[in-house]
Amino acid sequence: DAGVIQSPRHEVTEMGQEVTLRCKPISGHDYLFWYRQTMMRGLELLIYFNNNVPIDDSGMPEDRFSAKMPNASFSTLKIQPSEPRDSAVYFCASKRRGQGGEKLFFGSGTQLSVL
């Protein structure tokens, strides 16, 4: 299995631009998570999906952030418009409930820099 695949690995953009981060979970996994990691706040859960349905988006910072999961093999996290304070590493992770003892598999992350 290729693991959780995220793209791009690095993204540099200017304030005000739209940014789209992409994630392909492991086949057969029914949960997908988006996390944001910063030095100040550590690892924060933004949103997670179960069977493509958003379950908890209370971690999404504001309306500029949106996430979708149109099918079991793809999810996007969009920031529009982007701001410098959005600079962080964004991780996607997936798991299959009840299998592997709830082990969470992470992608390699997207390093976002908003100038």
Partner 1 sequence: AQTVTQSQPEMSVQEAETVTLSCTYDTSENNYYLFWYKQPPSRQMILVIRQEAYKQQNATENRFSVNFQKAAKSFSLKISDSQLGDTAMYFCAFVPYGGSQGNLIFGKGTKLSVKP
Q: Where along the sequence are the contacts to partner 1 (CB under 8 A)?
A: 31, 33, 42-43, 45, 48, 50, 55-56, 89, 91, 93, 95, 97, 101-104, 106, 108-109, 111
In angstroms, rounded to a whole number, what is the distance separating the alpha carbons of residues 22 and 92? Answer: 8
DSSP state, 9?
S
Closer residue to partner 1 in complex, CB, 79/95: 95
* HEC per residue, 37-60: EECCCEEEEEEEEECCEEEECCCC
CB of 93 to partner 1, least distance (A): 8
Q: Which is nearer to partner 1, 71 or 103 (CB)?
A: 103
My answer on whether omega of the bond before 70 falls inside 30° of 0, hence cis, is no
| Minimum CB distance to partner 1 smaller for 79 or for 93 | 93
For residue 16, the minimal CB distance to partner 1 (Å) is 27
Min CB(12)–partner 1 separation in Å: 17
